[in-house]
């Protein structure tokens, strides 16, 4: 099957307040870029569920993003898409070849559900609450949940450059999109998260990230998650 048939349906997020990105959708773009697969992007309104666009609902009756089509094949749910890509387009691999490292990579990849859950609570509050209605105590409480989860990943990345050994895998893409979105919202990595800061910098230098960087993100991040001291960034 020709890889030129791949199309991804993604939300047009530039107008979504503050967050301006869909981490799960970005993750799929990164996977396609890392696998050097040509693909087309179809941007749709960022509405989901029963409010999703008819075009999205015809591909995914749950009305969620992202959706990937490969010719006549339709795949949705982000981790299902990545596992499909590894099977259908195995070269270059984004899962290790040995049983032990593949088990670790898959564990870390699915473990990202925990990071996604706490992150999305924060994203949802910031994107749906007007600035004058934001409660700092609520932001800090949501950020505390994010920090609790980030300490796991700080520990993991202290053991190796990548989540599952010496090579980049899907797990790293999954972690990075949430980490980068948090940095965009003002997360300071600094001395608290040196291993995650190193991961962020490694990923930021990859062509896949440069090619897919959210277009609406400004050079200076927001300051929702810190008191805005640039020396701490």
Instruction: Please give the structure tokens belonging to residue 95.
Output: 């899962």
Which contiguous run of DSSP H or E holds residue 169?
none
Query: Over the stretch 14-64, which tens digit does the pLDDT of each residue have?
Result: 989 999 999 999 999 999 999 999 999 999 999 999 999 999 999 999 999
Query: Over the stretch 104-125, which tens digit does the pLDDT of each residue have?
Result: 999 999 999 999 999 999 999 9
Confidence class for position 131, pLDDT limits 50, 70, 90: confident
The string of DSSP codes covering 1-61 is: --GGGEEEEEE--TTSTTT---HHHHHHHHHHHHTT---EEEEE-S--GGGS-HHHHHH-T
In which order are the strands placed within the sheet that holds 6-11?
40-44, 6-11, 67-70, 73-76
pLDDT at 3: 46
**Cα–Cα distance list, 101 to 36, 54, 108, 153, 170 (Å):** 23, 41, 10, 17, 12
pLDDT at 227: 53
Distance CA 191, CA 75 (A): 40
Count of alpha carbons within 13 Å of 175, Cβ hemisphere only?
32
What domains, with CATH codes, occur in the chain?
Answer: 3-88 (3.40.30.10), 99-232 (1.20.1050.10)
Q: At what angle do helices 170-184 and 78-88 cross, to 10 degrees?
A: 140
pLDDT at 233: 39
Which contiguous run of DSSP H or E holds residue 218?
none
Q: What is the mean pLDDT of residues 144-169?
A: 97
Query: Over the stretch 189-231, which tens digit does the pLDDT of each residue have?
Result: 998 999 999 999 999 999 999 999 999 999 999 999 975 444 4
Count of alpha carbons within 13 Å of 138, Cβ hemisphere only?
11
pLDDT at 4: 57
Q: Look over the chain and give the mean of its residue pLDDT values, rounded to a whole number.
A: 94
Largest Cα span, the chain: 53
Distance CA 97, CA 106 (A): 12
**Percent over 70 (pLDDT), the chain:** 95
Query: Over the stretch 71-97, which tens digit does the pLDDT of each residue have?
Result: 999 999 999 999 999 999 999 999 999
Q: What is the mean pLDDT of residues 142-149?
A: 96
Q: What is the mean pLDDT of residues 137-162?
A: 96
Is the model more confident about 225 or about 156? Answer: 156
């Amino acid at each position: 099957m020709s890889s030129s048939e791949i199309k991804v349906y993604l939300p047009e997020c530039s107008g979504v307040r503050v967050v301006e990105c869909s981490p799960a959708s970005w993750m799929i773009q990164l996977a396609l870029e890392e696998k050097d697969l040509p693909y087309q992007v179809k941007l749709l309104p960022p509405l989901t569920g029963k409010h999703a666009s008819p075009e999205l609902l015809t591909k995914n009756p749950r009305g969620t993003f992202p959706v990937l089509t490969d010719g006549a094949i339709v795949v949705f749910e982000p981790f299902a898409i990545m596992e499909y890509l590894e099977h259908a387009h195995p070269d270059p691999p984004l899962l290790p070849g040995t049983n032990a490292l593949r088990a670790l990579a898959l564990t870390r990849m699915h473990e990202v559900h925990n990071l996604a859950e706490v992150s999305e609570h924060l994203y949802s509050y910031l994107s749906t609450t007007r600035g004058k209605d934001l409660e700092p105590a609520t932001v800090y409480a949501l950020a505390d949940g994010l920090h609790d989860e980030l300490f796991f990943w700080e520990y993991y990345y202290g053991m190796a450059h990548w989540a599952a050994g010496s090579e980049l895998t899907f797990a790293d893409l999954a972690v990075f999109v949430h980490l980068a979105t948090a940095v965009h919202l003002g997360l300071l990595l600094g001395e608290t998260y040196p291993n995650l800061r190193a991961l962020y910098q490694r990923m930021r230098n990859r062509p896949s990230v440069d090619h897919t960087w959210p277009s609406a993100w400004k050079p200076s991040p927001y300051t929702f998650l810190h008191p805005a001291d640039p020396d701490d960034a």
